[in-house]
């Protein structure tokens, strides 16, 4: 069951700049799914979009599936995420048979090859530990971690702009967290520090809290700060398992 909190309609945005490149929106435009379209449950509505340049959209689309698979690996202790991985990431002993079954099915071959490649990458970059609680430890492969962080930074900025039109979010700081269940507005929130709990309560009381919820798959909430324009925070959660806290800070002053 989909739910939302203070989520404005797309036609009410009236944006002037492309959130992917920062340049003015002119000429022919396209709509970008801020969160990769394939991460949503089948038939999910109200998927957040923003107007962007076609070239920017094409560039982002080239890595959408790769990022989706990386998030699935991190979230693989969740049955939904695990099921998607089992569908796309097969046992090596089944490889030859599967390729025979996929003749003429280019997209499935591509997804399969991508999943296998990412599995090898993640043997060197992330270690998913299960001791009753999902836990992710970065152990290497700085290239993959940086790419993932850059992507989710832009995702958080896009979601902020989608919900707070006219305000450009500041410099993002990212923190990936492990699972600690907590109910808030129908979504599960991971370990929250007292300052963040206070921010959530303050934003909710003032009516500034925003968000969208697709239970069991994707959820996010956030709020702009009231004192400095462009500052605020976002919480994004995937498959009730891995969460990202993003804090938006004022831009650094150039000297």
- Give dist(CA 33, CA 86) in Å, integer: 25
Residue 86 located in a structural domain: yes
CA atoms within 13 A of residue 77's CA, in its CB half-sphere? 16
Cβ-based neighbour number of residue 20 at 10 Å: 19
pLDDT (mean) for 163-181? 78
Could you tell me if 200 and 182 are in contact, meaning their C-beta atoms sit under 8 angstroms apart? no
Residue 134 located in a structural domain: yes
**Cα–Cα distances in angstroms (integers) from residue 149 to residues 152, 155, 228, in the given order:** 5, 10, 24
Distant-in-sequence contacts of 70-74, Cβ < 8 A, 24+ apart: 70/118, 70/122, 70/144, 70/148, 71/39, 71/148, 71/238, 71/242, 72/239, 73/118, 73/119, 73/122, 73/126, 73/128, 74/126, 74/128, 74/136, 74/176, 74/238, 74/241, 74/242
Could you tell me if 239 and 216 are in contact, meaning their C-beta atoms sit under 8 angstroms apart? yes
| Domain range for 69 | 64-138
Could you tell me if 174 and 112 are in contact, meaning their C-beta atoms sit under 8 angstroms apart? no
Question: What confidence score (pLDDT) does residue 255 get?
Answer: 59
pLDDT greater at residue 194 or residue 210: 210
User: Which pLDDT band holds residue 89 (cuts at 50, 70, 90)?
Assistant: low
Residue 125 located in a structural domain: yes
Tokens of 108: 């499935």
- CB-based burial of residue 92 (10 Å sphere; 0-12 exposed, 13-18 middle, 19+ buried)? exposed
Question: What confidence score (pLDDT) does residue 225 get?
Answer: 87
Whole-number average pLDDT of the chain:
77
pLDDT above 80 (res 216): yes
pLDDT (mean) for 199-211? 91
Domain count of the fold of the chain:
1
Question: What confidence score (pLDDT) does residue 183 get?
Answer: 40
Q: Residue 21: which residues within 8 A CB-CB, separation 6 or more? A: 52, 53, 56
Question: What confidence score (pLDDT) does residue 56 get?
Answer: 95
Residue 41 located in a structural domain: no
E-strand stretches of 164-239: 171-177, 183-184, 187-188, 210-214, 218-224, 232-238
Residue 87 located in a structural domain: yes
Question: What confidence score (pLDDT) does residue 83 get?
Answer: 83
**Composition of the chain by helix, strand, coil, percent to 5:** 40, 25, 35
Residue 109 located in a structural domain: yes
Q: Give the tens place of pLDDT for each residue, 142-170.
A: 677 788 889 999 999 999 999 998 888 99
Residue 89 located in a structural domain: yes
- Transcribe 38-81 into DSSP letters: GGSPTT-----EEEE-HHHHHHHHHHHHHHHHHHHHHTTTSHHH
Cα dihedral 81, 86, 92, 95 sign? negative
Residue 102 located in a structural domain: yes
- Give dist(CA 62, CA 57) in Å, integer: 9
DSSP 8-state class, residue 24: B
């Amino acid at each position: 069951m989909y739910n939302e909190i203070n989520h404005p309609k797309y036609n009410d945005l009236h944006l002037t700049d492309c959130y992917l490149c920062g340049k003015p929106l002119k000429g022919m435009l396209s709509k970008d799914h801020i969160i990769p379209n394939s991460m949503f449950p089948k038939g999910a509505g109200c998927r957040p979009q923003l107007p962007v340049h076609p070239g920017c959209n094409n560039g982002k689309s080239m890595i959408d599936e790769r990022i989706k698979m990386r998030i699935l690996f991190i979230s693989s202790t969740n049955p939904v995420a695990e099921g998607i991985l089992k569908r796309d990431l097969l046992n090596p002993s089944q490889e030859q048979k599967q390729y025979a079954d996929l003749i003429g099915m280019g997209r499935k071959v591509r997804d399969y090859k991508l999943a296998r490649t990412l599995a090898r990458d993640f043997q060197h970059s992330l270690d998913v530990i299960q001791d009753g609680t999902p836990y992710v430890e970065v152990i290497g492969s700085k290239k993959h971690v940086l790419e993932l962080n850059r992507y989710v930074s832009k995702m958080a900025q896009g979601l902020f702009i989608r919900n707070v039109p006219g305000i450009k979010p500041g410099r993002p700081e990212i923190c990936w967290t492990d699972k600690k269940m907590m109910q808030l507005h129908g979504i599960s929130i991971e370990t929250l520090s007292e300052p963040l709990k206070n921010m959530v309560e303050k934003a909710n009381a003032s009516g500034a809290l925003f968000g969208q919820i697709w239970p069991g798959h994707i959820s996010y909430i956030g709020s702009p700060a009231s004192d400095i324009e462009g500052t605020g925070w976002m919480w994004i959660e995937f498959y009730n398992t891995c969460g990202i806290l993003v804090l938006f800070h004022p831009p650094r002053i150039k000297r």
